Amino acid sequence: MYLADHLSRSFLKETKEVLVPDLHVNDIHLISYLPIAPEMYAKFQKETANDEHLQELQDVIFNGWPNEKSELIHSLRPYWTYRDELSVIDGLLYKSNKAIVPKALQNEMLDKIHESHLGIVKCKSRARDVLFWIGMGQDIEDKVKACGLCAQHQSLNAKEPMRLKTSLPTSLPLLMPQNVNNSEIIKNSKFAKKKAKTNYDKHCGPELKQLKQGDSIVMYTDGKWKAGKIIQKHHTPRSYVVQTSDGRRYRRNRRHIRPTAYNGNTVENEHFKNNHNLTVRKTSTVCNNSQTLDRSETVASEENESIEPSKSPVTRSGRTVKVPTKLNDYVK
């Protein structure tokens, strides 16, 4: 116990480690590791010797580092963090296994690092494997950023962080979910639908009659009514498949179809083939003398005069439709 105490107080004087500059073992290892041509190696040695800054560093490495960073001269303080990794071998300075590049060779090294135009990240990682100088990363960045080729082939920007919708302060009760009264919603929905129907129906006529397959009809298209037949009911409500006299098929809503009294093979179809259109009028305008024509579904030929009486259009109830002579000018 006493002995230990004694020894702890009477320690030996501190000895300074004297590094052997040309230690052969290190030499072989580092030079074989560093991928460097003999001429370049000589150049490194020469420029390191001429580099005032690196010579100061070399002196500190040889003579030992001070206890405090603040005791270093200003220009060497950046090396303080790496002081344990620094060494001098054969006139070259190293940080671990990487050669420290003298100022005079830095531009040349930058050119070599960048000669493949790999962009900032790859250039840096390529350089960091073998070379070191203070501020090397920044120098590489500046070099690459000034290069047009690297700029053209750089990668996309990373996506930006998510932005939440609002930065407004919101009170807690507003963020709490509220109970929903289901029956109230259904009731309101029904009411709204009913109201919409009422308003819509104010501008509607009565519901139109269903049509059967084979019914003769006129179909509204391109601003005119065109004759045709019902081929079948379409599966969608109120729609029909219609074939016109020229053989083409259409799908039409019931609203754009009116039944006519024509049957398919009368002279009227011949008229359609000759590109004549039917004119459909409401009963009130197509009164034939004292006769009242079938309401809403009356078709009159525009060429009343030229049609033989026996082949004049007839209404569904079988009456012959004649356009009053007073309308002849108007129709044409």
Site of interaction with Zn ion (CB under 5 A)? 117, 147, 149-150
Residues with Cβ < 8 Å from 106, sequence gap 6 or more?
133, 136, 139
Q: How far is the CB of 125 from Zn ion (least distance, A)?
A: 15
The span from the CA of 59 to the CA of 61, in Å, is: 5
Q: Which residue in the block uniquely carries the two structure tokens 């590791």?
A: 33
Q: Which amino acid is at 60?
A: V
Q: Which is nearer to Zn ion, 117 or 234 (CB)?
A: 117
Cα dihedral 48→66→24→89 (10° resolution): -10
- 3-state SS assignment for residue 101: coil
Q: Which is nearer to Zn ion, 147 or 327 (CB)?
A: 147
Q: Which is nearer to Zn ion, 113 or 321 (CB)?
A: 113
Q: How far is the CB of 172 from Zn ion (least distance, A)?
A: 55
CB–CB of 304/288 below 8 Å?
no
Give the strands of the sheet with 239-244, arranged side by side: 249-253, 239-244, 224-233, 216-221, 257-259
Q: Which is nearer to Zn ion, 147 or 208 (CB)?
A: 147
Q: How far is the CB of 152 from Zn ion (least distance, A)?
A: 9
Q: How far is the CB of 115 from Zn ion (least distance, A)?
A: 9
The span from the CA of 269 to the CA of 271, in Å, is: 5
Q: Which is nearer to Zn ion, 23 or 149 (CB)?
A: 149
Q: How far is the CB of 100 from Zn ion (least distance, A)?
A: 25
